[in-house]
Structure formats: structure tokens, C-alpha cells
Chains A and B, each alone.
Chain A
Amino acid sequence: QVTLKESGPALVKPTQTLTLTCNFSGFSLTTSGMRVSWIRQPPGKALEWLARIDWDDAKIYSTSLETRLTISKDISKNQVVLTMANMDPVDTATYFCARFYGGHPQLDYWGQGILVTVSA
């Protein structure tokens, strides 16, 4: 079955770079049409879409955060990595990775999420 799981630090300091890893199984990022996205959710707030990486290595970023985000994949490890530079307390959120798939693409499988707190 399809599973995804996020890992990374629970606490980062302001100005540091956050690196999150999404380990997935049950599908291949070499399959045509397959994509993985990152989404975040500040405590008590709405979901915010961050980035996407595709089977063909295309990368799409949130327009408001694209200067700070980098997404990459390691096919051999079934991993997708997101880095976010220059972290700020307003970036405190639960970060989710999810499979983004379909002709009218949808986030059909999600990881459990990881809470990242930005504090000195």
C-alpha cells in the first residue's frame, strides 16, 4: 500500500535552513504522471501548498516562497527532500508530504506530518 512519512528536526533557529525528508513506498516517482508535493499548516490555521516534484524532475514552487524553497528527489531511496532557507517563527507549522496524482491531480495519500517549531 501507499505510505509516506516525513522526518526532520522538530526545532530550528531563526535564519537556519530547514531540511525535511519524505520517505515513501507503494509507488514509484518514475511512473508517468506521478508527483509528490509538500504542504504546511500553521497551528490552528489553513493548509498552504509549498512545492511539487514530478516524475520527469519538473519542479514547481509556491510563488510566495519560491526564493526560499528547493525540492529534490532520490529515486534509489524513494525520498523527496524539501529545504526551506532563512526560517522565521512564522514558518512554525506542521509540514506534510503527499502524493499528487491523477489527470485532474489530487493529493490522494498523505504523510502524518511533522511539527517544526522555529524559535531561538
Chain B
Amino acid sequence: DIQMTQSPSSLSASVGDRVTITCRAGQTVGIYLNWYQQKPGKAPNLLIYAASSLQSGVPSRFSGSGSGTDFTLTISSLQPEDFASYYCQQSYTNPYSFGQGTKLEIK
């Protein structure tokens, strides 16, 4: 199984800040890497697929980069609605494992 490790596990930031979340895969996953946002009590919402492609309807302040084993999700200027949990997921091979999540909180 491919282990996905996110850092940090939690993060405090202010509105307007630039934030970066990192995801590392235990072995190469190419660009088979997706990012999701989840708010309390809700289903996850796809933000980024194939490492860097922005899902339709997602604000352009979200961006993704990386390939192989190291990936990043960047929010260029935090908005109040961005305070949530974020998960990476590899879709390279079964099981399509998720990272442990990063909780983004208001400072």
C-alpha cells in the first residue's frame, strides 16, 4: 500500500495569508494525485486533480504542483470560507489511499 503523508497536520493562518500544504507519497504516483477540501459535517469537495488541474468551479486561488512523490497545495490568499480540512489522495494504485489530513484554522 502507498502511504500518503501530509504536513502539517494542522495550521493556523489569517485571512489573506498564502498557505502551502505538502503531501508526500511512499512511492511514486506520477501525477495521480488529487486534493479535496472538507468542511465539518460535509462530504469532501474536489479541488485539484492530476496534481495540478483545477476542478471546474474551484477558485483560482487554489493551485497544485508536484509529481512523483512530492506534492503541494497552495492557497494564494486565504478567504474565510477556506478554513477547513484538506486531504490528498493518490489514484495511481489500489488502495487509493488518502493522507491523514491538514486542518486549517483561523489564527
Residues of A at under 8 Å CB distance from B? 37, 46-49, 52, 60-64, 96, 98, 100, 102-108, 110-113
| Stretch of B10-18, B19-27, B95-103 lying at the A interface | B95-103
Residues in B neighbouring A37, C-beta threshold 8 A: 96
B46 interface residue per 8 A CB criterion: yes
List 17 additional A-B contacts (Cβ < 8 Å) besides A110-B45, A113-B43: A46-B100, A47-B36, A47-B38, A47-B87, A62-B95, A63-B1, A63-B94, A63-B95, A100-B91, A104-B50, A105-B32, A105-B91, A106-B46, A107-B34, A107-B46, A107-B89, A110-B43
Identify which of B34, B43, B55, B89 contacts A112 (C-beta below 8 A): B43
Q: Which 10 A-B pairs have the closest CB atoms?
A: A106-B49, A104-B50, A110-B43, A47-B98, A49-B96, A62-B95, A106-B34, A105-B91, A46-B100, A60-B94
Q: How far is the CA of A118 from the CA of B91 in the complex (A)?
A: 29
B104 interface residue per 8 A CB criterion: no
Residues in A neighbouring B50, C-beta threshold 8 A: 102-104, 106
How many whole Å from B53's CB to the nearest CB in chain A?
Answer: 8
Report the nearest B residue to A107, measured CB to CB. B46
How many whole Å from A67's CB to the nearest CB in chain B?
Answer: 14
Report the nearest B residue to A37, measured CB to CB. B96
How many whole Å from B101's CB to the nearest CB in chain A?
Answer: 5
What 1/0 mask marks residues of chain B from 76 to 103 whose CB sits below 8 Å from any chain A CB? 0000000000010101001111111100
**Cβ-defined contact, A110 with B101, below 8 A:** no
B8 interface residue per 8 A CB criterion: no
Report the nearest A residue to B56, measured CB to CB. A108
Residues in A neighbouring B99, C-beta threshold 8 A: 46
Q: List 12 A-B contacts (CB under 8 A).
A: A46-B87, A46-B98, A96-B44, A100-B91, A103-B50, A104-B49, A106-B91, A107-B36, A108-B49, A108-B55, A110-B43, A111-B43
Report the nearest A residue to B96, measured CB to CB. A49
Residues in B neighbouring A110, C-beta threshold 8 A: 43-45
